[in-house]
Amino acid sequence: MIRPSLILEKRPSPSRFWATTTPVLAVIATMIAGGIMFWALGKDPIESIRTIFWDPLFHETFGPYSRPQLLVKAAPLILIAIGLSLGFRAGVWNIGAEGQYIMGAICGAAVGLAFYPTENILIFPAMILAGAFGGWAWAMIPGLLKTRFGTNEILVSLMLVYVAEAALASVSQGLLQNPDGMGFPGSRNFRDFPAAYNTELITGTGMHWGVVFAFIAVIFAYVLLTRHMLGFHVRLTGQAPRAARFAGVNPTRLVLFCLGISGALAGMAGMFEVSGPAGQVTIDFNSGYGFTAIIVAFLGRLHPIGILLAGLLMALTYIGGELAQLMLGLPAAAIQMFQGMLMFFLLAMDMLTNYRIRFTLKNA
Amino acid sequence: MEETRTQDALLTLEGLTKAYPGVVANDNVSFSILPGEVHALLGENGAGKSTLVKMIYGLVKPDQGTMTLKDAPFQPANPAAARAAGVAMVFQHFSLFDALSVAENISLGMDHPPKPRELTARIRQVSEAYGLPLDPDRIVGELSAGERQRVEIIRCLLQDPKLLIMDEPTSVLTPQEVDILFETLRKLTQEGTAILYISHKLEEIRALCEHATILRLGKVVDTCDPREKSAKELAEMMVGTTLHVPERDASEPGDVVLAMDHVTLYTPSPFGTDLRDVSLEVRAGEVLGVGGVAGNGQDELLAALSGEARLTSGSVLLNGVPIAKLGPNERRALAVLSAPEERLGHSAAPDMSLTENALLTAAVRQRLTKRGFLRWGKTEDYAKRVIKEFDVRTPGPANAARSLSGGNLQKFVIGREVLQKPEVLVVNQPTWGVDASAAADIRQSLLDLAAGGTAVIVISQDLDEILEISDRFTALNEGRLAEPVPTRGLTVEKIGLMIGGMHAPALEDAE
């Protein structure tokens, strides 16, 4: 009997074509599967997909409002994901960017608020440094524990997220609480403090300092990975740790570098968010960017340009998701499912990069 | 002759073909194996030996062709089916759990393991019957490589195989252990078990095998009785061209370039071997051969010299200047270069291109960076130069290291160091798993380097190789180094005793 069969064959070397095509295929597959899910929820699938992907940018009424949101939402995702990607490339799994993001926001905001209401041009740069420091210091905890005692950075960095969340709850009702806030939790609003406010640089674009730093981070990471010895060592450590040692890489320093830079970038992202779009330190100002950035990093194939595009796409699903909740009454969980599908399809399609599928007819 | 062989055959292969993307690993391979014969499968690396035995053992399915075992069609869907039909295999790399006992390891590898007590008794019985001393209750992590191999062999023998496949079984054994193994194999054949024996070591094949099938580029090119051929003739059949024997340029060695003085190194790895009080000297223009069975401190010796490991005590001197505190790149700057044993993952990064792999060790001496920034053009030129001068067969420097065959990658790895004009070069297993012609090229390049005044340390488990290229010989045994002696006049027997831990002075007393 002749029986058709599918064979997976390992490619001699990974396919460049598929490495760039799979993210696009994953997005398309997500649209299809997501459409089916929306249909099962009783919504028009075409309209749902259009509301998520098209309306935020081109809808007559909502477009002008949501277009700037694209950069506002993409900037922290890109900033964090760039840092994470360097670690992921080296096999250093910082899962706790959310915690570093929160600590960066707390430190940055604290420095700014300490000077309230002084008007000085140096306050904002000092806040950026403080934000980066907060994230860096928080990431050094798993870093030092890993290099000194061999603890697992995945667990430690993840658990520190919950510690950071507790710290956030504490300061927004204590140390950083607005003295004029009549007992409400949350700090002063940075909108009332021009020297510390992360303002929109070009009106109507959503462009703030965080966006500028995100672009700088993309370029920095690109140059580092393709043109600098340190980037080569990062990649080498991830692919062949023994070879990296042989090439003279100091594993301890590399782990600390990767965790430090991802922490600092996450901390900066937190500072830009709290002093601009969020406006104040509140118990729940953080919107999970630190976790979503992990998806962004992988969706962008850990490549700086890929992460830039993936960050924009992920921001679009955020805005589109909100719009879909508003317009079509889609539940928030459905949007999260949708983002999860994206990750799922990406990882599944990833196989095509390393394997080819052959369809054959065989004698059974 | 083949016709009569086919009639009495235990296993007959007919027209076996297997293609992978870009390469035909086996092309219309046919031969038969008789009961009770030791059948050698000879061929260079990449000749298709592994693919062929994987098909017989059910790991790979042939695209075309048929196999017949004991007059019945044989199409093993997986290794379990092959074992059920009476085919067993001992792999080159052992699949044992270090933390478990011998009996537990054997039990894990069996399809239907008996009760522990019964199994222990049977292991004792088989190990006595075949002269393979082994205590079933010992922990595998404590065993030598030779003893580990016995575990694998006994695991096979417990299943009463009709055909035993052995892939490079002697590469980890001392000459004395090889003798024990051959004794066992002869006992097995007397009982009618056929053995398919894969090895690069031609002298062994001549001593052991009654029939040889020679593969080249996936095809059967010849068959012979290896007992009637010389090793050189066998090698020529394998390579297809006349073997290039490296020539020794006997030159007077110069001053001591590199010295290790009472070096002790405690390895962090639980299954590594500590170096104990190792002292050696290498002179300019000299090749020092370091023999020894795998796992006796070879990796650690290389790491101590390359700068990857920090010494516990003792010193390393380059022209009298201490360098023990320097890392790999600082040593490279001083022209102390090395090439570790493991190609994929240690001396080269498998998924990176050859250009990137050139950068891996050549960045310092070839000035491939400028203020930390990479000079890709210059790096690619260097990779191309290595490819050209060392005849590395690859479409170009953009190809991933893992796409190269073992021999070609090894030529690249050695060439990458040789072209950097080292003052000291340390290589571990320079021709391990490399085909005969590539091995000859690599040895010649090491000799040329020494002739040019470089001090060369060759760590190798291939004794023939060491005898061929080194001026002085020493051996590692449980992390201790024997007193080096001139290679000239040494016999394999004497070396075997040195490897076994008897140092040279004791050796002289014994005579």
Q: How confident is the model at residue B510, as a pLDDT?
A: 40
> Which chain B residue is nearest to residue A242, measuring alpha carbons?
B346
> Which chain B residue is nearest to residue A235, measuring alpha carbons?
B352
B81 Cα distance to chain centroid: 29
Q: How confident is the model at residue B204, as a pLDDT?
A: 82
Cross-chain Cβ contact B352/A239 below 8 Å = yes
Q: How confident is the model at residue B250, as a pLDDT?
A: 56
Query: Has residue B94 got a pLDDT over 70?
Result: yes
Q: What is the ipTM of this complex?
A: 0.84
Integer Cα distance of A105 and A230 in angstroms: 28
Cross-chain Cβ contact B372/A242 below 8 Å = no
Indicate the burial class of B62 (C-beta count within 10 angstroms; 0-12, 13-18, 19 or more).
Answer: buried
Question: DSSP assignment, residue B482?
Answer: P
Question: What is the identity of the amino acid at A277?
Answer: P
Do B256-342+422-510 and B2-239 fall under one CATH topology? yes
Question: DSSP assignment, residue B353?
Answer: B
Count of residues making up chain A? 364
Q: How confident is the model at residue B148, as a pLDDT?
A: 84
Count of residues making up chain B? 511
- Going through chain A in order, the beta strands assigned E by DSSP cover 2-10, 355-363
Integer Cα distance of B385 and B338 in angstroms: 19
With a CB cutoff of 8 Å and minimum separation 6, the contacts of A215 are A308
Q: Is B484 helix (H, G, I), strand (E, B) or coil?
A: coil
- Pick from A284-288, B121-125, B212-216: least confident: A284-288
Chain B interface mutation, best of A246, A353, A354, A361, highest count of B Cβ atoms under 10 Å: A246
**A327-352 as b/e, with b when 16 or more CB fall inside 10 Å?**
ebebeeebbebbbebbbebbeebbeb
Q: In the structure, what pLDDT confidence band is assigned to residue B508 with cuts at 50, 70 and 90?
A: very low
Integer Cα distance of B150 and B154 in angstroms: 6
- Pick from A54-58, A78-82, B299-303: least confident: A54-58
Structure tokens at A213: 């730093």
**Cβ atoms B155, B132 nearer than 8 A:** no
Q: In the structure, what pLDDT confidence band is assigned to residue B45 with cuts at 50, 70 and 90?
A: low
The CA-atom distances, in angstroms, between B107 and each of B113, B123, B304 are 5, 10, 39
Q: How confident is the model at residue A30, as a pLDDT?
A: 92
- What pLDDT, in 10s, does the model give residues A9-42? 777 667 778 878 888 888 899 999 999 999 999 9
Is the preceding peptide bond at A117 cis, omega within 30 degrees of 0? Answer: yes
Q: A269 versus A53: which is more confidently predicted?
A: A269
Integer Cα distance of A99 and A107 in angstroms: 12
Q: How confident is the model at residue A362, as a pLDDT?
A: 62
Integer Cα distance of B73 and A278 in angstroms: 74
Q: In the structure, what pLDDT confidence band is assigned to residue B509 with cuts at 50, 70 and 90?
A: very low
Query: Has residue A133 got a pLDDT over 60?
Result: yes
Q: Is A291 helix (H, G, I), strand (E, B) or coil?
A: helix
Q: How confident is the model at residue B507, as a pLDDT?
A: 41
- What pLDDT, in 10s, does the model give residues B416-459? 999 999 999 999 999 887 777 888 899 999 999 999 999 999 99
Integer Cα distance of A290 and A7 in angstroms: 39
Cross-chain Cβ contact B345/A242 below 8 Å = yes
Helix axes A304-328, A289-299, angle to 10 degrees: 120
Integer Cα distance of A114 and A105 in angstroms: 14
| First and final C-alpha spacing in chain A | 6
**Cβ atoms A276, A189 nearer than 8 A:** no
- Pick from B225-239, B370-384, B461-475: least confident: B225-239
Q: In the structure, what pLDDT confidence band is assigned to residue A359 with cuts at 50, 70 and 90?
A: confident
Q: B131 versus A151: which is more confidently predicted?
A: A151
Element (H, E) at A314: helix A304-328
Q: In the structure, what pLDDT confidence band is assigned to residue A153 with cuts at 50, 70 and 90?
A: very high
The CA-atom distances, in angstroms, between A54 and each of A58, A62, A312, B49, B317 are 6, 11, 13, 58, 69
Segment B471-486 shows an average pLDDT of 88
> Which chain A residue is nearest to residue B356, measuring alpha carbons?
A232
Q: How confident is the model at residue A346, as a pLDDT?
A: 82
Integer Cα distance of A360 and B106 in angstroms: 38
CATH 3.20.20.140 fits B256-342+422-510, yes or no: no
Q: How confident is the model at residue A364, as a pLDDT?
A: 47
**Cβ atoms B136, B101 nearer than 8 A:** yes
Integer Cα distance of A18 and A348 in angstroms: 12
Q: For residue B65, which residues of chain A lie inside 8 Å, CB to CB?
A: none
Query: Has residue B243 got a pLDDT over 70?
Result: no
Q: In the structure, what pLDDT confidence band is assigned to residue A76 with cuts at 50, 70 and 90?
A: very high
Query: Has residue A8 got a pLDDT over 90?
Result: no
- What pLDDT, in 10s, does the model give residues A260-269? 999 999 999 9
- Pick from A62-76, B38-52, B59-73, B311-325: least confident: B38-52
Q: In the structure, what pLDDT confidence band is assigned to residue B503 with cuts at 50, 70 and 90?
A: very low
Integer Cα distance of A281 and B389 in angstroms: 64
Q: A335 versus B283: which is more confidently predicted?
A: B283
Integer Cα distance of B206 and B230 in angstroms: 8
Of B112, B111, B116, B89, which Cα lies nearest the Cα of B101? B116
- What pLDDT, in 10s, does the model give residues B332-379? 999 999 999 888 899 999 999 999 999 999 999 999 999 999 999 999
Segment A59-77 shows an average pLDDT of 89
Query: Has residue B249 got a pLDDT over 60?
Result: no
The A residues from 225 to 254 touching B (CB cutoff 8 Å) are: 226-230, 232, 235-236, 239-240, 242-243, 245-248, 250
- What pLDDT, in 10s, does the model give residues A255-302? 999 999 999 999 999 999 999 998 899 988 888 899 999 989 988 889
* Total Cβ atoms within 10 A of residue B116: 13
Segment B388-409 shows an average pLDDT of 88
Integer Cα distance of B362 and B339 in angstroms: 12
* Residue recorded with tokens 């360098």: B323
- Count residue pairs from A and B with Cβ separation < 8 A: 79
Query: Has residue A138 got a pLDDT over 80?
Result: yes
Distance from CA of B332 to the nearest CA of A (A): 10
- What pLDDT, in 10s, does the model give residues B139-153? 888 787 778 888 888
Q: How confident is the model at residue A183, as a pLDDT?
A: 83
Q: For residue B309, which residues of chain A lie inside 8 Å, CB to CB?
A: none
Helix axes B354-362, B406-418, angle to 10 degrees: 40
Q: Is B17 helix (H, G, I), strand (E, B) or coil?
A: strand
- Pick from A326-330, B115-119, B258-262, B496-500: least confident: B496-500
Query: Has residue B493 got a pLDDT over 70?
Result: no
Q: Rg of chain B over CA atoms, in angstroms?
A: 24
Integer Cα distance of B330 and B107 in angstroms: 49
Q: A182 versus B326: which is more confidently predicted?
A: B326
Q: Which of B349, B373, B400 sits opposite A243 (nearest CB)?
A: B349
Integer Cα distance of A182 and A168 in angstroms: 19
Q: For residue A243, which residues of chain B lie inside 8 Å, CB to CB?
A: 345-349, 360
Q: How confident is the model at residue A89, as a pLDDT?
A: 95
Query: Has residue B257 got a pLDDT over 90?
Result: yes
Distance from CA of B306 to the nearest CA of A (A): 8
Structure tokens at B72: 């019945």
Class in CATH terms, B2-239: alpha beta
Residues of B near A (Cβ–Cβ under 8 Å) read 20-22, 306-308, 327-330, 332, 340, 342, 344-352, 356, 359-361, 363, 369, 372-374, 376, 399-400, 402-403
**Cβ atoms A95, A266 nearer than 8 A:** no
- Going through B340-440 in order, the beta strands assigned E by DSSP cover 369-370, 373-374, 424-428
Q: How confident is the model at residue B205, as a pLDDT?
A: 85
Angle, vertex CA B81, rays to CA B80 and CA B83, nearest 5 = 65
> Which chain A residue is nearest to residue B347, measuring alpha carbons?
A243
**Cβ atoms B348, A243 nearer than 8 A:** yes
Q: Which of B332, B360, B400 sits opposite A243 (nearest CB)?
A: B360
Of A81, A124, A47, A150, which Cα lies nearest the Cα of A291? A81
Domain locations along chain B: 2-239, 256-342+422-510
